[in-house]
Structure 1
């Protein structure tokens, strides 16, 4: 039986932009879940935000920012003038964004500062010569900052400013959630019988730091390297020496210890590891939310990585006593889901095998993605596993055009029959 619930996925490139429309009295209430693009920007963001504003009548019951990566928030900054005409009742963010939590504020500031430092080093490397690896690492760093915009203000900060105070009229209430919190819904959504449960992120630092579990990834053979890259050796052993071979004067003006720290910090493999770790740390901050309405259950996982999933799936660090199997709650949730927003654009490290195996056969999914933005994203073995679970009802954002200059991706296949594209471009709908 149709419930009138609708999920709309916009095509903007490598980024997430979803609008959830819920029947309520006296009309329809709308929930915006992320609004950003970074790599492979198709130039359709403004058209998509304009379309969204029209569809919701310049009124959003709820805005959800899963995490502060540019590919999830850049649209708030680039389309600040449009959002300034939209009324918003509430805004949800992960607990890391709580300005009253000094630990969270310091952590985010440190992460942004590190990303800025890494970005400058990758830019210097690219200025010296073309370097595809450095280009991708620079993209990772700038996904954290958004890069510098007008007046030297980081683009992501501009987007955050809009989220915190850039909507029309009286500013919305802001909530900062962690796994297990009971969220506050706008009155219209609550009265309509709409419900939400916060499944992530955890608050445990150890879990936030858990980025990867290769045994839970859908890998394509030997293309994935070890978690820690091998140290580069730019010189043959014949040119290597020991500390004792040189006097103190050789290390002036910094001294041996500081000079070694500077050299270690500038090695390309160390910089790469730092950029990847910073990128994944932000992903692991993602809000993970289960929505329920009219007997239908929808799971939006943001870009959650292993530690975030680990908390939801096993109730704690996997492999420790009491945390070796899926909890009864996780099994129940996944066994009843009707819709899954594919985590992290279909990358290998954001939808664990155990989660896929527990999903209800016949559920449907949407994956907002764009090929050739990052290595092997979307990951074909993961999408194949999801399609099998979903009876081939998995939509990709690149299955529709984003204007004349961005046609549908022929390699993505045809849009599955469960979905529709009313305008034949820009967005894909799924109606319950």
Structure 2
């Protein structure tokens, strides 16, 4: 008897506001061990609902259960930011995901609980740098936890700082739920080049892990750069260690008498706030650079899911393109691109965009999917997410669909393509 083959790929992009949640379904020409479908969930998070109103992660999880017929085969969590994993810590969402019983939970290598974070005396010299990096992330998150726990005014710089810090919290309920799903050998902790054997779980799916690299593979992944021409963003923060917050919130100018003392307190407060803000922004960059970058192939279809990966993560792959012609061709002819970092200017390399500009004329049109909410991050055209210049550049090379354009009450967008080749086409409700 011939082995059943996937004949169609279906992608659902759920409305979660500023966050990511995607479901990939492979449909087969015959039942495989009693089922003619396989399902992979990519992230389940949000930090702000859509412009039309709030979103309940439990309701999104219920839709996922409905669309998977009660059985999920794999969960992919690109990294541990709240806008990618909040729903796993939601009481309703966590219970639904537990019942869906995924056979695999895929996360970045930095999430591996077997990788110690104590860098004082590593037992394995080959992993020393990676352990130090994970320890730095843990220390920075502890500092951010202190910021988030402090009482602050209802407005102003400190209020904005605390709001930013809240987005960087590890979200322990979600992490604990994912750790539980990964028990019994179901967890896989991925780095660039790591092989995955998925035939027994999702037949016909091939995954190439492009990122993140380990520190041993690419030391720059543990650092930040101040400027890099590869990205739409021209400035990135340099280091996790640039600033360390105090245990106390500095007094506000309004709490002291007018005069020179008040002036001094005000300026000291601003200085400390800006220093701590650098730490928060640097942690944001570092966490984004632990994002999984996955190239997925089913039949003749190729899909690129990038999380929020930034330059220190992407560059490891970009440096290979001149010599690896096969990888270069696959990236140039991607059928579906999950837009990195919600349309931020710091997550779609110019090199990648240049490949798409030179896309072969006989290649099917590319589809780009962007889960985002405008007006939530960035107050100027230069800092806004999504970035208008990037959006226009993507429209020049792909058919772009955004959750930010959905009518009120629309819970998801759905796209389908035959595995004999794209393009992905939207499915009418």
Task: State TM-score, norm by structure 1.
Answer: 0.74
Q: Which residue of 2 aligns with 1:88?
A: 102
5 Å-filtered alignment, 1:213-292, equals 213-218=227-232, 227=237, 267-292=272-297
Q: Which residue of 1 aligns with 2:367?
A: 364
The 8 Å contact of residues 63 and 88 in structure 1, kept in 2 or not, is answered as: yes
Structure 2: unaligned runs, 5 residues or longer: 1-5, 118-129, 244-251, 253-259, 261-267, 379-383, 418-429
Q: Matched residues in 1 for 2:341 and 2:75: separation?
A: 19
Q: Which residue of 1 aligns with 2:192?
A: 179
Pick aligned residue for 1:144 from 162, 168, 185: 168
Pick aligned residue for 1:127 from 128, 136, 152: 152
Q: Which residue of 2 aligns with 1:118?
A: 144
The 1:138–1:397 alpha-carbon spacing in structure 2 relative to 1, beyond 3 Å, is same
Q: Matched residues in 2 for 1:32 and 1:225: separation?
A: 32
The 1:358–1:308 alpha-carbon spacing in structure 2 relative to 1, beyond 3 Å, is same
- State the superposition RMSD in angstroms: 3.2
The 1:139–1:211 alpha-carbon spacing in structure 2 relative to 1, beyond 3 Å, is farther
The 8 Å contact of residues 11 and 44 in structure 1, kept in 2 or not, is answered as: no
C-alpha distance after superposition, 1:356-401 (max 9, x if no partner): 11123721110110112211000110111111011xx110012224
The 1:226–1:343 alpha-carbon spacing in structure 2 relative to 1, beyond 3 Å, is closer
The 1:33–1:122 alpha-carbon spacing in structure 2 relative to 1, beyond 3 Å, is closer
**Residue 111 of structure 1, CA deviation:** 2.7
The 1:186–1:91 alpha-carbon spacing in structure 2 relative to 1, beyond 3 Å, is farther
The 8 Å contact of residues 109 and 189 in structure 2, kept in 1 or not, is answered as: yes
The 8 Å contact of residues 223 and 238 in structure 2, kept in 1 or not, is answered as: no
Q: Which residue of 2 aligns with 1:201?
A: 212
C-alpha distance after superposition, 1:215-249 (max 9, x if no partner): 22336xxxx768579x9xx9xxxx9xxxxxxxxxx
C-alpha distance after superposition, 1:103-158 (max 9, x if no partner): 4677546534433433544665x724611x54443333222215xxxxxxxxx111
Q: Matched residues in 1 for 2:324 and 2:162: separation?
A: 39
Tell me if 1:13 matches 2:17. yes
Tell me if 1:30 matches 2:35. no
The 8 Å contact of residues 313 and 330 in structure 1, kept in 2 or not, is answered as: no
Q: Matched residues in 2 for 1:353 and 1:313: separation?
A: 10
Q: Give the match's secondary structure for 1:350.
A: coil
The 1:264–1:326 alpha-carbon spacing in structure 2 relative to 1, beyond 3 Å, is farther
5 Å-filtered alignment, 1:379-394, equals 379-390=387-398, 393-394=399-400
The 1:174–1:108 alpha-carbon spacing in structure 2 relative to 1, beyond 3 Å, is same
Q: Matched residues in 2 for 1:207 and 1:291: separation?
A: 23
The 1:266–1:282 alpha-carbon spacing in structure 2 relative to 1, beyond 3 Å, is same
Q: Matched residues in 2 for 1:86 and 1:374: separation?
A: 33
Q: Matched residues in 2 for 1:363 and 1:326: separation?
A: 24
Pick aligned residue for 2:325 from 312, 325, 328: 328
C-alpha distance after superposition, 1:255-275 (max 9, x if no partner): xxxxxxxx8997222111111
The 8 Å contact of residues 5 and 23 in structure 1, kept in 2 or not, is answered as: yes
Bigger proportion of residues as helix: 1
Moved more, 105-114 or 54-63: 105-114
The 1:226–1:264 alpha-carbon spacing in structure 2 relative to 1, beyond 3 Å, is farther
Q: Matched residues in 2 for 1:160 and 1:112: separation?
A: 14
The 1:162–1:226 alpha-carbon spacing in structure 2 relative to 1, beyond 3 Å, is closer
4+ residue stretches of structure 1 with deviation over 6 A? 263-266
The 1:176–1:226 alpha-carbon spacing in structure 2 relative to 1, beyond 3 Å, is closer
Q: Matched residues in 1 for 2:336 and 2:298: separation?
A: 12
Q: Give the match's secondary structure for 1:80.
A: helix
The 1:99–1:105 alpha-carbon spacing in structure 2 relative to 1, beyond 3 Å, is farther
Structure 1: unaligned runs, 5 residues or longer: 147-155, 240-262, 316-322, 404-424
Q: Give the match's secondary structure for 2:13.
A: strand
